[in-house]
A and B are shown apart, each in its own frame.
Chain A
C-alpha cells in the first residue's frame, strides 16, 4: 500500500510530459456489485435456511416467522460487513488496480494554475484545537512549496458570544504568527440557517467561484500538506471526478475508550474500506469532511432541497454529505474513495456517552435519508449507501426485537407447559437441535469476527505496518481486548440507538443535560444518570430470563453484562490514566503513536504548550464581550470584520434585519454598561456584538466614563489592565 510518507511532496522536477492516464481494462462495476452482493446474499441464504430449518424442528408459529424475518435482515447486514472484510483482505494482499490513486500518474500533474480553498466550518467548537489544527496543516502545506495555491477559511456559525470573540482573537494571533494575513480568512455568519451545509453554501455563494476545488475540514480535522497537494493533483488528472473522499485515521486519543476506537479504526478500517472500494469504484460516498470537491459541479448540482413534510423527516436535510455525493453521482460526476492515501486525520469521541451523543445527531440525519432513497435519477450505488446508512441505526431496534421475540418464544413454550418434541432436520440430519443451534451461532460469530481476523492476518503479512503497530503479539492481544470491550459496548449501543430511533420517529428529543466531566473524564454521578435505564433493563430482563430458562440466561449473559456494567464501563474507559497505562503495556498502539507524523507532533506540542501556559483553561463567563468592548485591538478587529460584512449585500441586508432601531440599540448598550453583561440575554449580547457603530461606541464609553457610572463588573474588568 502506498503511504503519504513514501511519496515526495511535490511533483518531480524536469520536463513535464503531462499526466499519464492508466487505461484499466473495463472495470465492470456492475459485475463487481453483482459478485459482491451475491456472495453476501448467498451466505445469508444458506445460514437463513439453516435457521429456518432449526425453527421448523420445534414447530412453526407466527413468532417464529417474525424471528426468521428479523434474522434474515440482520444476518444480511452482518454478511455484507463480512464480505467487505473478505474482499478487502484479498485486494490488500493481492493488489488492486481499480483505485483512484492508480488511475493516472497524478504525481506528475502540475497544479500551478489551480486554486483550492480549505474550509473549516465550525459551530461553538474548542477554539484552540481548531486553530492549532489549521496551523499544523498550514505549516505542512508550506513545506510543499505549493502554499500559494491554497486559501484557508474558518467559517464560523458559533452562537456563543464568548466563542465568537475567542475565534476572532485566536484567528488574528494565528495569522500574525504564520504571516498568513490574506491567506487564512475568518468569517462568521449572522445566522446559521441550514447548519453546516448552509454554512458551506454561504461560503460558496461569496467566494466559491474563485476556487476550482475546495476541501472540507471538520473542527478536529488535520491533513498533511503533501496529501492535500496529491488530492488536487488527482483531481487535475481525473477531470470527470467530482469528489474524492480520503479515509481519515483517528488520532490523538487519550482515554482508554478513545484509544480502543482509534486502534480498531487503524487496524480494521483499511481492510473494510478496500472492500467498500471494490464495489463502489466511481460511485463512492462523501462523509462530510477531509474530502476534495470540484466546486463548479457542487455549486450547480449539490444544493440540498428541503424535504416535504414536517420534522423529523421533512425540512432541511441534516446528514447532507451522503445526499451531496448522491446528487453529484446523479449528474454523472464520479465520486471516489482515496482509501490508500494516508495523511488524513480526525479525532474521535473520548467516551461512551460522547460517542452516543454524536450518534444521536447522525441517527436523525441517516433516518431522514429514507425520504431520499427512492428519488428519481439516483444511482443504485447511492441507494445502497443510503440504505446501509439507515440500517446502521435501524439494525439496533431490530436486534432488540430479535432478542425479545426469542424470549417471547421461550416464554410461550414454558407457559404452555408443552414438552419439546423436535423433528429431524431437513439437511443437517445428523445434528441434534442443540448442535444445530450451536452451528448457526458459530457461523454468525465467524461472520462477525472474520474481518477482524483477516485484518490481523493482513497485518502479519506486512512487516512495516506490523512494526508500526508494536508487533503482532501486542496487536493480537489488543484485538482480543478490543473485541471483549466491543461485546460489552454493543448492547449499550443497541439500547441507545433504539431509543434514538424511537424518539426521532415520535418527533421527540433526547435530554442529555450538560456534559459533566471531571478532571479526568466522565464522573460517576453523570454516568449513573445516563445509564440508569440500561442497568434497570438488564436487571429486569436478566431476572425474567433466569426464571424462564437458566440455560438461555447464559446465552444472554454477554448482552446483559454490558448493560449492567454500563456505569463502571463508561467511567473507567473515559479515563486517560487507563489509556496511558494501556499504552505503556503496548496495547492499542497505532502507527501515528509509534511514528507520529510531523503535523500531529506539532499539534500535540502546541496544545501541551497552551495547556502549560493556562491558555486552555476555561475562561470566565462573558469574557468575550469584555474583550470585545475593552481591548482596543480586539474591538478594532471585531468592528473591522463586521464592517467588512457590509460589503456583501446579503450580509448587509441580514445585518439591517438583525439590528434593532438605533434608540433601542442605545438602550441595550446603556444597560450593558450600567448593569453588566449578566443583565442581558445571550441574544441581546449577540445583537450588540453584531452592530459595528455600537461596538465602537461601547469601547469609547467604557474607557471614557467615570468608573462609578459603570457596573461593578466593568470596573473589575478594567482593573485587569492595571499593572
Chain B
C-alpha cells in the first residue's frame, strides 16, 4: 500500500471514509462491469480495483462526496477515455454519444465473448479488435430512398350521395320528410275512397 494515499489514517476508515462506503462503491462498480458482461473473475477484480484506486486518489480532495459517487464518476471517466482512444474520437462534453457508440461497439465487436482481456487495457490492441470496434455501427435499415405515397381519388359512386347527406341543412331534411308523409297520406286517401 502507498502510505501517501492516506488509506489507513484512522481505524475502520479508508481515504477518510468508512469501509462500508467503499464496499458499496466496490459493489456498484462491479455491478456495472457485470452489466458489461465481464465474466472472468480475475479480470473483473482487476478492473474494479483500477477504478477504486482512482477514486481513492481523488477522495482526500473531495471530502464532501460519497465514495460510491466518486467511484462511479471514475468508472465513467476510465471507460469513456478508453473508448476515445480505441475509437480514435476525442471525448466531448456535448453529449453522451462517445459512451453510447463505445458500448455499442463493444457489443457488436463481441467484447464479452472474444475480447474480454482487451477491455480497458492500454493500447496497442490487436488489429482485429480495433477494426471490429471502429467498424461497429448500427443501422435501422439500408439507405433511405424517400418517396411519398398518396391516395388517388376514389369516386364512391352512389355512396358519395349518401355520405353527403350530413351536409344537407336540417330545414331541407324536415321539408323532405313532410313531402314524404304527404305522399303517404295522399296514397292512403286515394286507395280508400
- In the complex, the chain A residue whose C-beta lies closest to that of B27 is A722
Compute the total of residue contacts between A and B using a CB distance below 8 Å: 169
* B130 at interface, CB cutoff 8 A: no
Interface size range on B against A: 35 or more
A205 at the interface (CB under 8 A from B): yes
- Contacting B31 at CB < 8 Å: which of A182, A637, A718? A718
B166-191 near A? 1/0 per residue, CB < 8 Å: 10000000000000000000000000
Q: Which of B6-14, B53-61, B120-128, B146-154 contacts A (4 or more CB under 8 A)?
A: B146-154
Interface string of B137-148 (1 = CB under 8 A from A): 011111111111
Residue B96 is within 8 A (CB to CB) of chain A in the complex? yes
* Residue B100, interface by CB 8 Å: yes
User: For the complex, what is the distance from the CA of A299 to the CA of B148, rounded to whole Å?
Assistant: 9
In the complex the two chains form, is A706's CB within 8 Å of B69's CB? yes
A530 touches B (CB below 8 Å): no
Known: A308-B160, A636-B104, A705-B69. A649 touches B146 (CB 8 A): yes
Contact for B141 among A187, A371, A636, CB less than 8 A: A187
Assembly CA distance A151 to B142 (angstroms): 9
Are A632 and B35 touching (Cβ within 8 A)?
yes
Q: A641-B138, A700-B96 are in contact. Are A304 and B151 (CB under 8 A)?
A: yes
Q: Across the interface, do A374 and B147 meet the contact criterion of CB distance under 8 Å?
A: no
Do A303 and B150 contact each other (CB < 8 Å), given the known contacts A374-B158, A704-B72? yes
Query: Nearest chain-A residue to B156 (Cβ)?
Result: A375
Please report the C-alpha to C-alpha distance between residue A630 and residue B156 in the assembled complex, in whole angstroms. 54
Do the beta carbons of A206 and B141 come within 8 Å of each other?
Answer: yes
Tell me the bound Cα distance from A304 to B30 in angstroms.
Answer: 55
Bound-state CA distance A705–B72 (Å) is 8
A153 surroundings in chain B (CB, below 8 A): 141
Chain B residues with CB under 8 A of A314: 163
Q: Is the CB of B35 within 8 A of A636?
A: no
Please encode chain A, from 99 to 143, with 1 for each CB lying within 8 Å of some chain B CB and 0 for all others.
Answer: 000000000000000000000000000000000000000000000
Q: Does B19 contact A (CB under 8 A)?
A: no
Chain B residues within an 8 Å CB radius of A61: none
B28 at the interface (CB under 8 A from A): yes
- Chain A CB within 8 A of B42 CB: no
Interface membership of A640, Cβ < 8 A? yes
Cα separation A299 to B157 with both chains bound (whole Å): 24
Q: Are B108 and A181 in contact (CB under 8 A)?
A: yes
Check if A633 is an interface residue, CB within 8 A of chain B: yes
A44 at the interface (CB under 8 A from B): no
Q: Let me know if A309 is at the binding interface, CB within 8 A.
A: yes
- Among the listed A176, A181, A700, which residue makes an inter-chain contact with B76, where contact means beta carbons less than 8 Å apart? A700
Measured in the bound complex, the distance between the Cα atoms of B152 and A377 in whole Å is 12
A703 touches which of B72, B95, B149, B154 (Cβ 8 Å): B72
Contact mask B104-142 → A, CB, 8 Å, 1/0?
101110100000000000000000000000000011111
Q: Which of B75, B138, B147 contacts A208 (CB 8 A)?
A: B147
Bound complex: CA A114 to CA B163 (Å): 44
Q: How far is the CA of A314 from the CA of B164 in the complex (A)?
A: 12
> Which residues does chain A contribute within 8 Å of B30, judged by CB atoms?
722-723
Given A641-B140, A718-B31, A707 contacting B68 (CB threshold 8 A): yes
Q: Is the CB of B72 within 8 A of A375?
A: no
Residues of A within 8 A of B37 (CB): 633
| Smallest beta-carbon distance B116→chain A, Å | 14
Give Cα distance in the complex from A233 to B21, angstroms: 68
**634-652 of chain A: CB within 8 A of chain B:** 635-637, 639-641, 643-645, 647-650
Task: Decide: B147 and A636 in contact? CB cutoff 8 A.
Answer: no
Total chain A interface residues with beta-carbon distance under 8 A: 68
Contact A704 B149 (CB under 8 A): no
Q: Which residue among A201, A632, A696 has the maximum number of chain B CB atoms within 10 Å of its CB?
A: A632
Q: Which residue of A lies closest to B94 (CB)?
A: A693
Assess whether A305 is in contact with B96, with CB atoms less than 8 Å apart: no
Known contacts A636-B104, A703-B32: A309-B69 contact under CB 8 Å: no
Interface membership of A372, Cβ < 8 A: yes
- From residue 302 to 337 of chain A, which have CB atoms closer than 8 A to chain B? 303-309, 314, 327
Instruction: Give the docked Cα–Cα distance between A128 and B47 (Å).
Output: 35
Would you call B43 an interface residue if the criterion is a C-beta within 8 Å of the partner chain's C-beta atoms? no
A376 part of interface (Cβ distance < 8 Å): yes
Residues 23-37 of chain B, each 1 if its beta carbon lies under 8 Å from chain A, else 0: 010011011101111
A94 within 8 A of B: no
Our pick among B102, B140, B156 for the contact of A187 (Cβ within 8 Å) is B140
Contacts of A201 in B (CB 8 A): 149
B-contact bits for A559-589, CB 8 A (1 contact / 0 none): 0000000000000000000000000000000
User: Once the chains are docked, how many angstroms separate the CA of A722 from the CA of B152?
Assistant: 59
Interface residue? A204 (CB, 8 A): yes
Q: Does B66 contact A (CB under 8 A)?
A: yes
Question: Nearest chain-B residue to A210 (Cβ)?
Answer: B145
| A206→B148 CA distance, assembly (Å) | 8
The reply on B101 being an interface residue by CB < 8 A is: yes
- Give the distance to chain B from A705, nearest Cβ to Cβ, in Å: 7
From B97, B150, B159, residue with most partner A Cβ within 10 Å: B159
Rounded to whole Å, the gap between the CB of A156 and the closest CB of chain B is 11
**Do A631 and B144 touch (CB < 8 A)?**
no
Closest CB-CB distance, B94 to chain A, in whole Å?
A: 10
Q: Is the CB of B146 within 8 A of A205?
A: yes
Q: Are A303 and B149 in contact (CB under 8 A)?
A: yes
Contact call B163/A636, Cβ cutoff below 8 A: no
> Do the beta carbons of B139 and A185 come within 8 Å of each other?
yes
B81 within 8 A of A: no
A371 to B164, CA, bound (A): 13
Chain A nearest Cβ from B41, distance in angstroms: 9
CB of A186 within 8 Å of the partner chain: yes
Nearest B residue (CB) for A649 = B146
| Interface flag for A533 (CB, 8 Å) | no
Known: A374-B157, A707-B24, A707-B28. 9 other contacts (CB 8 A): A205-B149, A207-B141, A207-B145, A209-B145, A631-B35, A633-B106, A641-B138, A703-B76, A705-B72
The 8 A-B residue pairs with the shortest CB-CB distance, nearest first, are: A696-B96, A374-B157, A636-B103, A636-B104, A209-B145, A308-B163, A704-B72, A721-B31
Pick 8 A–B contacts, CB within 8 A, sort by A.
Answer: A172-B107, A204-B149, A206-B146, A301-B152, A303-B152, A327-B154, A632-B106, A718-B28
